Structure 1
Amino acid sequence: MALLTTFSCEEKFFAMENIYCSFDDASVAGVIAFYPITDVTELYSFYQKEVNPILKQAIYRGTAGTFDETKNLFKIFSPISYLSTVAANNIPPIFLAAGKKDRIVDAYQSEELHKDLQERGITSIYIELPWANHGFDIVINGPGGQLVFQYMHQFLQWIVNTKRFQVLLGRLNNLALSRFW
């Protein structure tokens, strides 16, 4: 949801509920997403290969219809569909983590999003754990939890320091302008 909200701020996702959202209103400094669903159509295809009736039923109930009946919803609820050159200017740095053995959300989704973000010049960090499954972070003291939380901690420190620097720079600019005018 964090990715969808950040990427679609001025798009159809909010317009469906007559909600006005502007990137100026949402001062998001960064987004963290563990094993995120980035493309619902791709997720549907993944579930078709997995032959898992429970997962297929979850998508059917979540969209209230079959793929053919609800294609437009699949796109509206896919963060990756909102990536564009214009949106790239408003998307903050993104931290993604996924397990290669995930059978609920294919790590390919995070890989593709990371690649698309990088191509658009958006700061993106992607951690892929080759041995990990969905929910690898539940055991914080486990290898997946420790590794990802260490990198996430560094990402958050970088975000906070970058934000502080921008605020400080803005204050210095205002101070300099007030002294000369």
Structure 2
Amino acid sequence: MTAAASPRPRILLLTASVLFTLPSLAALGLILLPPPSWPAWQYALLALEFSVLFALLSLLGLVLALSARRGGRGRGPLLLAGANALLLVLALVPPASLWATARAEGARLDPLQYTAGLATTTDREPVTVEYARVGGERLHLDVWQPSDRDAGDAPHPVVVNVHGGAEELPQSLLPRWDTWLADSGGSRVVFDVDYRHFPDGNWSASLADVRCALGWVREHAAAYGGDPDRIALAGQSAGGLLVLLAAHAEGPDPSCDTTVPEVDAVVAWYSATDGTAGAPPVPWRQRHSPVGDELLESSERMVGGTPQEYPREYEAMSPILHVDSDSPPTLLITAGHDLFVDPEDNRRMAARLTEAGVPNHHLSLPWTEHMFDLNWGGLASQVARHSIEEFLADHL
């Protein structure tokens, strides 16, 4: 009776090992392969940001497979143990790479923050203001003041943030970053700006709105405790492109009657800087994904055609072509495993800034995906906060 019952614990161990293996295997596929849809890309982003959790699953699968191996012979447990060991190593590559980057940047990482949640909520509400009406459309911005602001304080530096994403998203897309910017580094006043999101055939309308918002901020910053003579720009993705253009290019005219100030510094997160035909190719995963086809169609709609058909338009929207010695200090934050932007694009932009004698820093975060800052406690976000703080302290 003992001999007949003995296989049962072994089968249970193998089954449990397989159940722990499958999530890590699925996550690996999502991360490395072209996403079949937008939701799949979002799952891939989360899988990459929380890869340590998949490492724990793989470790459990490895232990269970080795336990089953001790209960009998056969290749199954050994193969399962090998698969889990490989998945364990692969899951640890992103955090290990980011830990090395943190050491190079002089940033201290706090593992206890790893599960601190997402950046989509924060501890207070902003003041929302209409800053312009363009063609009957109301444009708003959110004002985030320091939590410890006192009426007698000296004016605080100003950060104007421009979100990425799509038109239906709120201006304060990741408000936890806004309150961090407001409260850190001796306090700042943050203005998070909405804009017309690249209307078809009129991409420059978005830039005109950002330039309008900059003028509004210069005129009204003092009313919120901000210093109109110390302004930095920051933006993510499409917002990063817009702030680079607003900082490095001259036009177009603002979409409202205002004077656009020069800025003291600019921070661009995972943004393309070259849209011309000679730009680095888009990443392999994007080229083989339906998501990539949608992006290409969207890009061509907002300009009116391809880079070959409208070379001057694509040159006008390529910040790398507008850098000169008068450009403001620039921090580029690159996601090393970005579905949308090849890291070579930002490396070329950093080289162009250096060539022009513009103070700059290029923070390249290996094995991070576009919009990694959604994960507030993630290792990449922690490194980014350190580099942003140092950069703004030096230039704002």
- Residue 60 of structure 1, aligned match among 285, 296, 300: 300
Aligned pair in 2 of structure 1 residues 91, 60: CA closer, same or farther (>3 Å)? same
Give the conservation status (yes or no) of the 8 Å contact 1:35–1:99.
Answer: yes
Aligned pair in 2 of structure 1 residues 44, 122: CA closer, same or farther (>3 Å)? closer
Give the match's secondary structure for 1:31.
strand
Structure with the bigger RCO (C-alpha within 8 Å, sep 6+) is: 1
Asked if 1:149 corresponds to 2:385, the answer is yes
| Alignment correspondent of 1:8 | 249
Which structure is higher in strand share? 2
Give the conservation status (yes or no) of the 8 Å contact 2:283–2:342.
Answer: no
Report how far residue 33 of structure 1 moved.
0.3
Deviations 1:28-78 (A, max 9, x none): 110000011210125684279724311211211121223332121110111
Paired with 1:43 and 1:68, the residues of 2 have a C-alpha distance of 12
Which stretch has the larger CA shift, 42-51 or 63-72? 42-51
Aligned pair in 2 of structure 1 residues 144, 77: CA closer, same or farther (>3 Å)? same
| Alignment correspondent of 1:167 | none
Report how far residue 103 of structure 1 moved.
1.4
**Structure 1 consecutive aligned stretches of length 4 or more whose deviation exceeds 6 Å:** none
Paired with 1:141 and 1:154, the residues of 2 have a C-alpha distance of 19
Aligned pair in 2 of structure 1 residues 47, 68: CA closer, same or farther (>3 Å)? farther
Match of 1:94, as an amino acid?
Answer: T
Match of 2:305, as an amino acid?
Answer: G
Match of 1:68, as an amino acid?
Answer: Q
Paired with 2:294 and 2:280, the residues of 1 have a C-alpha distance of 12
Give the conservation status (yes or no) of the 8 Å contact 1:14–1:20.
Answer: no
| Alignment correspondent of 2:374 | 138
- Residue 270 of structure 2, aligned match among 35, 60, 64: 35
Which stretch has the larger CA shift, 135-144 or 60-69? 60-69
Larger Rg: 2
Paired with 2:283 and 2:297, the residues of 1 have a C-alpha distance of 10
Give the match's secondary structure for 1:97.
strand
- Aligned pair count? 149
Matches within 5 A, 1:77-88: 77-83=317-323, 87-88=324-325
Matches within 5 A, 1:31-180: 31-41=266-276, 45-46=281-282, 50-51=287-288, 52-83=292-323, 87-88=324-325, 90-160=326-396
Paired with 2:275 and 2:355, the residues of 1 have a C-alpha distance of 21
Deviations 1:87-126 (A, max 9, x none): 31x2111011011111111111111110111111110001
Match of 2:334, as an amino acid?
Answer: A
Provide TM-score, normalisation by structure 2: 0.35
Provide TM-score, normalisation by structure 1: 0.73
RMSD: 2.6
